[in-house]
Amino acid sequence: MSKQKLEEFIIQLSEDSELKQAYVEDPKAVMQKIGLDEQQINVMMSGDKSKISAMLGQDAELVITGIIHLVKK
Protein backbone atom coordinates (compact mmCIF):
# COMPACT_ATOMS: atom_id res chain seq x y z
CA MET A 1 0.00 0.00 0.00
CA SER A 2 1.28 3.43 -0.85
CA LYS A 3 1.90 6.21 1.63
CA GLN A 4 -0.93 8.18 0.03
CA LYS A 5 -3.38 5.31 0.49
CA LEU A 6 -2.32 4.94 4.12
CA GLU A 7 -2.83 8.67 4.70
CA GLU A 8 -6.29 8.43 3.10
CA PHE A 9 -7.16 5.55 5.44
CA ILE A 10 -6.04 7.53 8.48
CA ILE A 11 -8.09 10.54 7.42
CA GLN A 12 -11.11 8.32 6.82
CA LEU A 13 -10.56 6.73 10.22
CA SER A 14 -10.69 10.13 11.87
CA GLU A 15 -13.91 11.09 10.06
CA ASP A 16 -15.93 7.85 9.87
CA SER A 17 -17.40 6.82 13.22
CA GLU A 18 -18.35 3.32 12.02
CA LEU A 19 -14.85 2.67 10.70
CA LYS A 20 -13.37 4.03 13.93
CA GLN A 21 -15.56 1.71 16.01
CA ALA A 22 -14.58 -1.28 13.87
CA TYR A 23 -10.92 -0.24 14.22
CA VAL A 24 -11.20 0.02 18.00
CA GLU A 25 -12.78 -3.44 18.15
CA ASP A 26 -10.34 -5.16 15.77
CA PRO A 27 -7.69 -2.86 14.29
CA LYS A 28 -5.74 -5.63 12.58
CA ALA A 29 -8.81 -6.92 10.73
CA VAL A 30 -9.71 -3.42 9.56
CA MET A 31 -6.19 -2.75 8.30
CA GLN A 32 -6.11 -6.12 6.52
CA LYS A 33 -9.47 -5.41 4.91
CA ILE A 34 -8.28 -2.07 3.49
CA GLY A 35 -5.12 -3.66 2.16
CA LEU A 36 -2.27 -2.69 4.44
CA ASP A 37 0.63 -5.12 4.23
CA GLU A 38 1.88 -6.99 7.30
CA GLN A 39 4.79 -4.61 7.88
CA GLN A 40 2.48 -1.59 7.89
CA ILE A 41 0.02 -3.36 10.18
CA ASN A 42 2.78 -4.34 12.58
CA VAL A 43 4.11 -0.79 12.71
CA MET A 44 0.65 0.66 13.32
CA MET A 45 -0.12 -1.96 15.98
CA SER A 46 3.18 -1.31 17.75
CA GLY A 47 2.18 2.26 18.58
CA ASP A 48 5.85 3.21 18.11
CA LYS A 49 5.79 6.92 17.20
CA SER A 50 9.18 6.86 15.50
CA LYS A 51 8.26 3.91 13.27
CA ILE A 52 4.87 5.38 12.39
CA SER A 53 6.52 8.73 11.64
CA ALA A 54 9.06 7.07 9.37
CA MET A 55 6.27 5.28 7.52
CA LEU A 56 4.11 8.40 7.10
CA GLY A 57 6.82 11.01 6.55
CA GLN A 58 6.42 14.72 7.25
CA ASP A 59 2.67 14.65 7.94
CA ALA A 60 3.01 12.03 10.65
CA GLU A 61 2.64 14.25 13.69
CA LEU A 62 -0.82 15.29 12.52
CA VAL A 63 -2.17 11.75 12.93
CA ILE A 64 0.08 9.79 15.27
CA THR A 65 -1.46 10.79 18.58
CA GLY A 66 -4.96 9.76 17.52
CA ILE A 67 -3.86 6.45 16.06
CA ILE A 68 -1.76 5.52 19.08
CA HIS A 69 -4.70 6.39 21.33
CA LEU A 70 -7.00 4.09 19.32
CA VAL A 71 -4.47 1.22 19.24
CA LYS A 72 -3.82 1.35 22.98
CA LYS A 73 -7.53 0.97 23.89
Q: Note down pLDDT in tens along the chain; length 73 residues.
A: 577 777 788 888 888 889 999 999 999 999 999 988 898 899 889 988 888 888 887 666 666 666 666 655 5
List Cα–Cα distances, 40 to 7, 17, 32, 44, in angstroms.
Answer: 12, 22, 10, 6
DSSP 8-state class, residue 72: H
Apex 33 CA angle, 70 and 15, nearest 5: 45
Query: Containing H/E element for 70?
Result: helix 64-72
Alpha-carbon Rg for the chain in angstroms: 11
d(CA 1, CA 3): 7
Statement: the pTM of the whole predicted model exceeds 0.95: no
